Amino acid sequence: MGYNLLLQTEAILEIQEAFEWYEEQKEGLGYELIEEIEVCYEKRSIHPERYSYINQLYRRIKTNRFPYVLVYEIEDDNIIVNSIRHIKRNPDSQ
């Protein structure tokens, strides 16, 4: 089944904030974060049901290199990314 990827406004803003912060730390690092997030999108699009539930509605997938989880839900043929959370700042997201 092919899934449509939808990003909520909150997720877009969180990605932008994280990108800018990493770019301030080292040029190019923000782009590496974006690449990691894209890998998560690809994995999730292939097998969205594979990843752990946070609660009855939301699931999560963790980036490999950066301390972030993508929180999403599956609704029909849509994968809706609700937020991108920094797990060091919010331990409950792990």
Q: What is the per-residue pLDDT across 48-85, written as a single tens digit (0 to 9) for each?
A: 888 889 999 999 999 999 999 999 999 999 999 999 99
Q: What is the mean pLDDT of residues 33-39?
A: 94
Q: Give the type of residue at 63.
A: T
Place of tokens 């406004």: 9
From residue 22, alpha-carbon distances to 32, 34, 37 in Å are 9, 10, 14
Percentage of the chain modeled with pLDDT above 70? 93
Helix (H/G/I), strand (E/B), else coil: 71: strand
CATH hierarchy code of domain 4-87: 3.30.2310.20
pTM tops 0.85, yes or no: no
